[in-house]
Amino acid sequence: MIRISILTLCPEEFASFLKTPLIERNVASGILRIEIVDIRDCAPGSFRKIDDSPYGGGAGTILRVQPVEDALKAVCDRNSHIVITSPAGKPFKQKDAGRLAKMQHVVLLCGHYEGYDARIYEYGDEMLSIGDYVLSGGELPAVVIIQALMRLVDGSMKKESVMEESFEEGLLEYPQYTKPSDYKGKKVPEILLSGNHEAIREWRRKEALKQTETYRPDLLKKKEIDPALKNYIDENILPQYKDYEESHGLSHIKTVIENSLELCKDLEADIDMVYTVAAYHDIGLRYGREDHETHSGRWLQEDKKLRNWFTEEEIRTMKEAVEDHRASRKERPRSIYGCIVAEADRDVDPKRVICRCVQYETAHYPEADEGEILEKIIGHIKEKYGENGYLKLWLPCRKNREGLAVLRKWIITGEIVEICKEELQKQRKSS
Ligand code: SAH
């Protein structure tokens, strides 16, 4: 059972869509609950003003934050997954449809006019685009997303028909035929009439590959790191981290690499560049913590060997990405590679944040008593993770955002004091 809420300014555009068999059948059988929410109902006053002109001038009008926030509040609970439709979103793929199909509640926000007030994006769990063109509203994108995901909701379609479709296993579908077997001399391939299921499966697989090579060679693009590059980095770069302090040692780098590769799966980013940036991002710590990102960037740029795999421009992009990874940086990183490594580097697991912070402060102020240390720890956590803290998340990565929400709650309720105190006492006891 999946619940879908569509937030729109044009509810009437969904009238015929709601009557299609895909929707009616699944609503009737209890697999789907779908609701259309008119954002206008959340706008105040008799004019119901939902848009306004952009600050700084420019064409058109922009959707205001307040009606959207109120509409979201009215439909969401903690199981809701909010998707913002936008040409700036991640390209919507079959595997996103599969991912969304497994959720309990998907909320689709449809924009209109010139788009959204930028602050609206903060409410989304992700942003999806259905292609590189600009439509006048998010209603068709919402329909596209729902049609794709409903086919994959358990119980909605026969398993076999879904399993062999295009994009499953990254290939297009093989050619299909129906009666007659001979149409004006154009014959159906012999093998399909043979009844030999094993041979038919084999033939279909080969044909699927052929179709993909012909029509969508980009789908066969490599998704693995160049083995020679990986080998060079694993043998020459990663071992450098062995003598770095615990919190930025090899295990930290391995975590950042792993997180980066995970984020890269859903983005249009070059996997070799992602791996390289993650591997080099902290290497400048050899020259101390201050400015380590600049040293890391220089190290990467001066590494002659990397020219075996990358152009000068790619190297510049990677150097900038490494420079942009620090949490204290206020501006958005200059490329997707900077965003990936920055996000992968933020381990906002609340318990680990506190553990790291306690370790850091006690090591730096060995003389301080419990009260003083606690004050420093909590001060740092508020400054970095608090409501207006300097930590910024650049990609919508749910794990980090949830961790941040927990920390903020602890700060607001004051629970943070007890939690830090417990951790401090635990660490003191064990040392
Ligand atoms: N000025 C914006 C475009 C706004 S189009 C820009 O240049 O990015 C208005 C709305 O239509 C968007 O808010 C979005 O909801 C929807 N939309 C337009 N094109 C889309 C696409 N390719 N994928 C998903 N949504 C799209």
Q: What is the pLDDT of residue 247?
A: 66
**Pick the residue with more confidence: 218 or 182?**
182
User: Which residue puts its alpha carbon closest to atom 1 of ligand 1?
Assistant: 114
Average pLDDT over residues 191-215: 91
What's the mean pLDDT when you consider all of the chain?
Answer: 91
Residue 401 lies in a domain: yes
Which pairs count as long-range contacts for 234-238, CB under 8 Å and 24+ apart, including other chains? 236/305, 237/279, 237/280, 237/283, 238/279
Spatial contact of 341 and 283, defined as CB atoms under 8 Å apart: no
Q: Considering 313, 346, 379, which residue would you say is the last residue of a domain?
A: 346
Residue 156 lies in a domain: no
Q: Is 58 helix (H, G, I), strand (E, B) or coil?
A: coil
Q: What is the pLDDT of residue 396?
A: 65
Q: What is the CATH number of the domain that holds 185?
A: 1.10.1270.20
Q: Considering 325, 346, 367, which residue would you say is the last residue of a domain?
A: 346
Question: At residue 232, does pLDDT exceed 80?
Answer: yes
Q: What is the pLDDT of residue 411?
A: 93
Question: At residue 160, does pLDDT exceed 80?
Answer: no
Question: At residue 162, does pLDDT exceed 80?
Answer: no
Residues 355 and 340 in one domain: no
Q: Residue 6 burial by CB count (10 A; 0-12/13-18/19+): exposed, middle or buried?
A: buried
Instruction: Provide φ and ψ at 62, rounded to 5°.
Output: -120, 140
Tell me which residues have their CB closer than 6 angstroms to ligand 1: 85-89, 110-112, 114-116, 129-131, 133-135, 137-138, 141
**Ligand 1: distance of its center to the CA of 139 in Å?**
10
Question: At residue 237, does pLDDT exceed 80?
Answer: yes
Residue range(s) defining the domain that contains residue 49? 2-150
Question: In this predicted model, what pLDDT tens digit does every residue of 66-114 receive, in sequence order?
Answer: 999 999 999 999 999 999 999 999 889 898 899 999 999 999 999 998 9
Residue 383 lies in a domain: yes
Q: What is the pLDDT of residue 268?
A: 74
Residues 341 and 204 in one domain: no
Question: At residue 244, does pLDDT exceed 70?
Answer: yes
Provide the whole-model pTM: 0.62
Question: In this predicted model, what pLDDT tens digit does every residue of 272-307 receive, in sequence order?
Answer: 999 999 999 999 999 988 899 999 999 999 999 999
Residues 247 and 291 in one domain: yes
Residues 241 and 311 in one domain: yes
The count of structural domains within the chain is: 4
Q: What is the CATH number of the domain that holds 28?
A: 3.40.1280.10
**Ligand 1: distance of its center to the CA of 138 in Å?**
6
Average pLDDT over residues 145-174: 84
Q: Residue 326 burial by CB count (10 A; 0-12/13-18/19+): exposed, middle or buried?
A: middle
Ligand 1, residue 116: give the atom nearest the CA.
13
**Ligand 1: distance of its center to the CA of 183 in Å?**
45
Average pLDDT over residues 32-41: 97
